[in-house]
Amino acid sequence: MGANCCHDVKFDGMDPAYKRALIWVILINAGMFLVEMPMGFVGQSQALKADALDFLGDTFTYAISLAVIGKAASLRAKAALAKGVSLLLMGIWVLASTIYSVFYQPQPEAIIMGSIGFAALVANLLSVLFLLRFKDGDANVRSVWLCSRNDAIGNIMVMLAASGVWASGTGWPDLIVAAIMASLFLWSALSIIQQSIGELRQHRMDTD
């Protein structure tokens, strides 16, 4: 079944092309986490650490998305709900650690931020291209698209933060971007949670 074959029934991921795309995206995210998190500590960048954590979270959530394809609608909705909650917790952690960094703020390395941010942007744009045709679907499918889209936006912001750190000589641009990324995580999490709860309610109504 294609991603847009029916306007009344949302795409549920049952397409070999979607599964292959998802596997590639999982590999890309896992690889970038292994690169970006160490460099976040080396470069003392809160924004890079937040982005690396997002790569790790996406690796696990995409794996869950792949595992529940073809399962019952209620199970897919529950999986999406779990991913929404994990994204919510991730956003809270990034926001809290950013607030902490306001009081203990080593200046990040702009060159490391910019170069790693660019590499991550390329990786995420590649993921977005893999998933673009599958962006509309049920909560499980949509959560994958939102995570990939957020990653690409986040990487652009990291590169802007690197420019700001270099131009200002302070770490404030890095912290501001980390806070914005946390807000984006929280907004997406609430969107996923809302849609998955709605699908669970609809499933219960259909089975009553």
pLDDT reading at 13 higher than 60: yes
Whether 54 is in a domain gets the answer yes
- CA gyration radius, the chain: 18
**For 1-17, what is the mean pLDDT?**
54
Angle at 184 between CA 183 and CA 189, to 5 degrees: 100
Q: 3 lies in a domain?
A: no
With tokens 């306001």, the residue in question is: 102
In this structure, are residues 195 and 78 in contact, taking their beta carbons and an 8 Å threshold?
Answer: no
* Domain count across the chain: 1
Give me the domain span that covers residue 203: 16-131+140-207
**pLDDT value, residue 80:** 77
The CATH code of the domain that includes 153 is 1.20.1510
* Residue 130: other Cβ atoms inside 10 A: 19
Question: Residue 2: is its pLDDT beyond 50?
Answer: no
pTM above 0.75, yes or no: no
Mean local confidence (pLDDT), 142-163:
77
Structural domain includes residue 179: yes
